[in-house]
Amino acid sequence: MARRKKPSLAVWKFASCDGCQLTLLDLEDELLALADAVHIAYFAEATSTALKGPYDLSLVDGSITTPADAVRIREVRRASRYLVSIGACATAGGIQALRNFRDVREFLSTVYAKPEYIETLATSTAIADHVPVDFELRGCPIDKRQLLEVLSAFLNGRRPNIPAHSVCVECKLRGNVCVMVTGTPCLGPVTHAGCGALCPTYHRGCYGCFGPMEAPNTPSLARAFQAAGRSETELVRSFRNFNANAPAFREESERHDE
């Protein structure tokens, strides 16, 4: 196709393990095609080249945990035509959002010899809590086929084909026998699809890595977990995970945490 100019891509890191942005490098078979289709302007994990903005598409990995990052994300937003946040950290605050349920100052004094050198926020929050986001791609980590779909969609000016329904749909499309009905509590019925039902395919209950699905009914599933013998503590842990600060999961975990 005759494009006038290759769109520029920037990849940004905030508080995260980097796993999601590395998914980009993990697109082994498509990497050359991607390098052909876009101009990589900023991607510290891949190249030391750092071109100035504006950028056509920014992928943002990580959550906002420091005052400096709260400022930096605004700069990234200003320099980006489209901004897509990727992964549980960027879309829900990540596992580090467990701090949101406790007093961060206690952690600081326990962990650091000189806590006064540490400048941090009381919470870990999603990118969308700070700046407008054009699309959120879920997952801990994100799924590489879904990342490719989002990139293709933005490059072709179409809507990404990323359904927000439950993991159950993916199980049924794969022909899996439901693990919950055969005896293993599973978060799949309230969890956003995307992983391809990885854990249920290997006979494990879903851990909720992709966060809450569209309009989840977490109280009903929690009652089913209780009926299957899960304690209140276990329920808190089930919902307070990589997506602990996603509103539906946060509220459900709080209901079981007195």
Partner 1 sequence: MAEVAPPEAERERFVLSVDGLEALLVALRGDGWRLMGPTVRDGAIDHAEIRGVADLPRGMTEVQEAGTYRLARREDGAFFGYAVGPRSWKQLLFVPKLRLFRAHRQEDGFQVEPESTEPPRLALIGARSCDLHAIAVQDRTFLEGPYKDPDYAARRERLFVVAVNCGQAGGTCFCVSMRTGPRATSGFDVALTELLEGGHRFLAEPGSERGAALLARVGAIPAREPDARAADAVVERTAQSMGRAMDTTDIKGLLYRNQEHPRWDNVSERCLGCTNCTLVCPTCFCSSVEDTTDLVGGVAERSRRWDSCFTLDHSYLHGGSVRHSIRSRYRQWLTHKVASWWDQFGTSGCIGCGRCITWCPVGIDITEEVAAIRATDGARPGA
Question: Residue 36: is it exposed, middle or buried by C-beta count within 10 angstroms (0-12/13-18/19+)?
Answer: exposed
Identify each DSSP E strand in the chain by its residue range: 8-13, 39-43, 55-61, 80-86, 135-137
Q: How far is the CB of 34 from partner 1 (least distance, A)?
A: 6
**Of residues 98-157, which lie at the interface with partner 1 (CB under 8 A)?**
148-149, 151-153, 155-156
Q: Is 247 in the site for partner 1 (CB under 8 A)?
A: no
CA distance 197 to 132: 30
Question: Residue 2: is it exposed, middle or buried by C-beta count within 10 angstroms (0-12/13-18/19+)?
Answer: exposed
Binding segment toward partner 1, per CB under 8 A, in 26-34, 92-100, 134-142, 238-246: 26-34
Chain-centroid distance of CA 145 in Å reads 15
Instruction: Show Cβ contacts of residue 79 under 8 Å, excluding neighbours closer than 6 positions.
Output: 10, 53, 54, 55, 58
Q: Kindly tell me which residue out of 52, 175, 229, 258 binds partner 1, with binding defined by CB under 8 A.
A: 175
Binding segment toward partner 1, per CB under 8 A, in 69-77, 124-132, 217-225, 237-245: 217-225
Q: Is 165 in the site for partner 1 (CB under 8 A)?
A: yes
Looking up tokens 């406790």 gives 102
Which CB sits closer to partner 1, 130 or 256? 256
Q: Is 62 in the site for partner 1 (CB under 8 A)?
A: no
Q: Which amino acid is at 84?
A: V
Q: Is 31 in the site for partner 1 (CB under 8 A)?
A: no
- The binding site for partner 1 (CB under 8 A) comprises 1, 30, 33-34, 36-37, 148-149, 151-153, 155-156, 158, 161, 163-166, 168-169, 172-173, 175-178, 180-183, 186, 188-190, 203, 214-217, 219-221, 223-224
